[in-house]
Amino acid sequence: KNQVEQSPQSLIILEGKNCTLQCNYTVSPFSNLRWYKQDTGRGPVSLTIMTFSENTKSNGRYTATLDADTKQSSLHITASQLSDSASYICVVSPSYNTDKLIFGTGTRLQVFP
Amino acid sequence: DAEITQSPRHKITETGRQVTLACHQTWNHNNMFWYRQDLGHGLRLIHYSYGVQDTNKGEVSDGYSVSRSNTEDLPLTLESAASSQTSVYFCASSESGVGGYTFGSGTRLTVV
């Protein structure tokens, strides 16, 4: 069964600190991996999209990495801000249907002053 | 600016009633999707459409239906609402391939 697993489930950090969220997937064959940010009460918003041939992709203070050999991805947040408090969802698309998104359950990040 | 809007934002209904959730997008995307989001689960696909008059079942389609009469709208109907359908529902649209996948703000549905 195709799965996307994220860790940790939740994370608390202080403003200004860095953090890294993990995503392991078993989707095969694999086309692309996305990271989304979901604020409370809102829909997910895309942060990064990486194809299987890309190793890293940045979007401001967010940097995603991908190791297609080990089927692992990480999202690194630099110099966290209070507005980074949200759920971060890892999403994988299989190559046989790039419109089929397989969602992880997310990491809930809370940033405190 | 292009957008995707869902209505209503919140809905409370009684068991057995028919309910329709609206989704409207101005991206001119061919593909539209309905997901539900529940604690402990990732978003799960209910129904999707690749164009006008095209509809397909997702992994949790039982008790739901959709219709696509134009490019902009994909309404989701719960034929006879059940308590198990209490959830947050998200509509999304995309062009095919990588990128351009946009979600609405969601509808919180409570079935009592």
Answer with the residue of higher pLDDT: A24 or B2: A24
For residues B30 and B52, is the Cβ–Cβ distance under 8 A? no
Q: How far is B99 from chain A, CA to nearest CA, in Å? A: 7
Span B47-92, pLDDT tens digits = 999 999 999 999 999 999 999 999 999 999 999 999 999 999 999 9
Q: Helices (DSSP H) in B54-103: which residue ranges?
A: none
What are the angstrom distances between the C-alpha of B100 and each of A11, A75, B92? 29, 20, 10
Task: Check residue B21 and report its DSSP letter.
Answer: E
Residues in chain A: 113
What are the angstrom distances between the C-alpha of A17 and each of A10, A21, A48, B73? 16, 13, 21, 43
Give the CA angle between residues A41, A43, A49 to the nearest 5°.
140
Span A10-64, pLDDT tens digits = 999 999 999 999 999 998 888 889 999 999 999 999 999 998 889 999 999 999 9
* End-to-end C-alpha distance for chain A, whole angstroms: 41
For residues B51 and B70, is the Cβ–Cβ distance under 8 A? no
Per-residue pLDDT at B100 exceeds 80: no
Buried b (16+ CB within 10 A) or exposed e, B49-77: beeeeebeebebbeebebebeebbbbbbe
Q: How far is B60 from chain A, CA to nearest CA, in Å? A: 13
Q: Is B3 helix (H, G, I), strand (E, B) or coil?
A: coil
Reported as a pLDDT band with limits 50, 70 and 90, residue B99 is: low
Mean pLDDT across B32-57:
94
The pairing of beta strand A72-77 with beta strand B102-103: unpaired
Query: Comparing A1-5, A108-112, B27-31, B56-60, which segment has the lowest mean pLDDT?
Result: A1-5
Do B106 and A31 make contact, defined as CB atoms within 8 angstroms? no
B98 Cβ neighbours under 8 A, 6+ residues apart = A31, A32, A49, A51, A93, A98
Best probe of the A interface among B37, B46, B88, by most A CBs < 10 A, is B37
Per-residue pLDDT at A80 exceeds 80: yes
Reported as a pLDDT band with limits 50, 70 and 90, residue B98 is: low
CA-nearest of A26, A11, A37, A2 to A111 is: A11
Kindly report the average pLDDT of chain A as a whole number. Answer: 93
Best probe of the A interface among B96, B101, B102, B107, by most A CBs < 10 A, is B101
Per-residue pLDDT at A2 exceeds 70: no
The pairing of beta strand B76-78 with beta strand B19-25: antiparallel
B7 Cβ neighbours under 8 A, 6+ residues apart = B21, B22, B24, B107
Reported as a pLDDT band with limits 50, 70 and 90, residue B95 is: confident
Reported as a pLDDT band with limits 50, 70 and 90, residue A1 is: low
Task: Check residue A16 and report its DSSP letter.
Answer: T
Please give the residue of chain A at the shortest CA–CA distance from B108: A41
Percent residues over pLDDT 70 in chain B? 96
Reported as a pLDDT band with limits 50, 70 and 90, residue A85 is: very high
Do A4 and B42 make contact, defined as CB atoms within 8 angstroms? yes
